[in-house]
Amino acid sequence: MTASGPRIALLGFSIECNRFAPPATQRDFDTRCWLAGEAIVADARGPAPKALGEMPGFVAGMDAAGPWQPRPILLAMAEPNGPVEQPVFDRMMATWRAGLEALRGEVEGAYAVLHGAGLATALDDPEGALQALVREVLGDIPFVCSYDLHANVSDAMVRDCDAFVGYRTNPHLDMRERGAESAQLLRRLLAGEKAHRALVRLPIVAPTVSMLTAAGPYAEVIDLGQELAALDPAIWNVSVMGGFAYGDTPFNGMAVVVTAADQESADSMAERLARAAWARRDRFVAELTPLRVATRRAKDSPVPLAFADVADNPGGGGRGNTMHILASFLAAGVEGCLMGVIHDPMLAGEAHRLGVGARFTARFNRPQGTLTAEDEFSRPLEAEAEVVALSDGRVTGRRGIFAGTAMTLGATAALRLGGITVVVISIRTQCADPAFLEHLGLDIGAARCVVVKSRGHFRGGFDEFFTPDRIVEVDAPGLTSPILTRFAWTKLPRPVLPIDPDAHWSPAR
């Protein structure tokens, strides 16, 4: 370690992969966040980073604790999608390897931002592969990794790090804090403290809508973990990882990972929390509102409501373009409705060419990109429309997961279709931030109803408009349907709840 503080390798790979969605390409990373070398640190210290909060939080935490020397390599993030094309991931691995080899013997520690639910087309555990690479090249130096709470935790992910730090909030509002915590734990390791880890995986593949952390079974287990950790100084971190069903991996399943000063403390805490999760197993179910009922409520409700199209969530790999709710609301004559954000670059581009005030026949979901005429979910729809607003889609997030983050939606248009104003974007993302609608001059507070293509992160962005009792999760077809029996699983470790009622688990201790 030098007088200027510890030298720390920085790297990251963050994408949530849906086995049933089209593959992610290099362009998906270039569009969202591809930062190499010093650009990683400059972005983290900037006023509106492109990267999500973990790296900015880590850098700020290290800065606050004293001198240090970042040695950044590559941080690659993309919107949730299908598995990463293998050649794309292989090129990333080559970049990380070259960067790590250049740092061999030249760094005292390492930090990686990871999602934990990544896939490549020929690899079920890309995060584990990256962590193993860090260990192979840099050896047994202090190494901390942070993860999304939707991580599908492999044995390698726990083995090949010194401290494992998972989010505690869903919607994800604590990413920056978990990055800062990672910095604190790395400083402890650099000071000579030793950490041990324990993993307990359960046969529970919970529907995404059952893993909120404000209330419910998942919240109860996370809260219990934090309460117990606060009473035991041997515990460094408790992470209850809900998992991501649509990854469809051999290691899917709710997992408890504990980092502690000794193995016994880690093991006993992990088992205690696993027992608590298992005792709540029957509560990890999806309770959705049928589309016909949701449509009636949109017409008749005396109070404003938010409708979540949870089955077409771009935040879980959905295409963000299914028409089921829009078609039903149009047919019923729903009024005073805002809907967003629908991914349709062709339609957004047409609206830009026509200009504000133009009236035309809006044709959704014409074949484009990976969308074909035979797509199972993204069926076409035509409706008369008026262009009411246009933008280039450059937005700084205002609330929730994207707060303070520089976002690019591409060419964006607000189209009025009868009583419904639809926001159409060119770069796919979930509607998690009110700024996605507000930057077009749309007044969310004046709407009778708002439809968002999002599973849960909208709750952290739109909570100032809609309390939980005014949120309706709609049952419609899509790549992210919480009704898990609708999918043709190939690698899921069966039996698992809630798909298989006969699933069982016994503690190892």
**Contact call for residues 463 and 375 (beta carbons, < 8 A):** no
Question: How does residue 102 score in pLDDT terms, banded at 50, 70 and 90?
Answer: very high
| Mean predicted confidence (pLDDT) in 378-403 | 96
DSSP letters, 159-178, are HT-SEEEE---SS---HHHH
CA distances (Å), 421 to each of 311, 337, 338, 451, in order? 21, 6, 5, 10
- As a dihedral over the C-alpha atoms of residue 173, residue 15, residue 143, residue 172, rounded to 10 degrees, the angle is 10
In the sheet where 255-260 sits, what is the strand order? 196-201, 255-260, 235-241
**469 pLDDT higher than 90:** yes
Using the predicted structure, report yes or no on whether residue 268 has a pLDDT greater than 90: yes
pLDDT, tens digit, for every residue of 189-209? 999 999 999 999 999 999 999
Q: Which residues contact 295 (CB under 8 A, 6 or more apart)?
A: 328, 329, 332, 334
Average pLDDT over residues 239-264: 99
pTM of the predicted protein model? 0.96
Q: What is the pLDDT of residue 456?
A: 93
| Residue 366: pLDDT band with limits 50, 70, 90 | very high
Q: Taking each helix axis from N to C terminus, what angle separates 291-300 and 324-332, rounded to the nearest 10 degrees?
A: 50
CB 186 within 8 A of CB 235: no
Q: What is the pLDDT of residue 94?
A: 99
Q: What is the mean pLDDT of residues 235-262?
A: 99
In sequence order, which residues have a C-beta less than 8 Å from that of residue 371 and are 6 or more positions away?
319, 321, 365, 378
Say if residues 393 and 424 touch (Cβ distance below 8 Å): no
Q: At 377, is the pLDDT very low, low, confident or very high (cuts 50, 70, 90)?
A: confident
Strands 289-290 and 449-452: unpaired
pLDDT tens per residue across span 305-317: 999 999 999 999 9
Other beta carbons within 10 angstroms of residue 493's beta carbon come to: 15
Give me the percent of the chain exceeding a pLDDT of 90: 96
Whether 371 shows a pLDDT value over 90: the answer reads: no
Q: Is 399 helix (H, G, I), strand (E, B) or coil?
A: coil
Say yes or no to pLDDT of 369 above 90.
no
Task: Give yes or no for residue 187 having a pLDDT over 80.
Answer: yes
Residue 1 has pLDDT above 80, yes or no: no
Helix (H, G, I), strand (E, B) or coil at 246: helix
Question: Which tokens in the block code for residue 272?
Answer: 């205690």
Q: Around Cβ 215, how many Cβ atoms within 10 Å?
A: 10
The confidence score (pLDDT) of residue 325 equals 98
Give all strands (DSSP E) within 115-152, no chain letters. Answer: 143-147
What integer pLDDT is reported at residue 2 of this predicted model? Answer: 76
What is residue 376's predicted lDDT score, i.e. its pLDDT? 82
Q: What are phi and psi of 347, to 5 degrees?
A: -70, -40
**What mean pLDDT comes out for the span 337-354?**
98
Lowest mean pLDDT among 40-44, 66-70, 378-382: 378-382
Average pLDDT, the chain: 97
Average pLDDT for 171-190: 98
What pLDDT does residue 470 have? 98
Check residue 370 and give its pLDDT: 79
CA distance 14 to 28: 12
pLDDT of residue 374: 75
Q: Cβ(388)–Cβ(443) under 8 Å?
A: no
Cα–Cα distance list, 448 to 306, 420, 465, 470 (Å): 9, 10, 11, 11
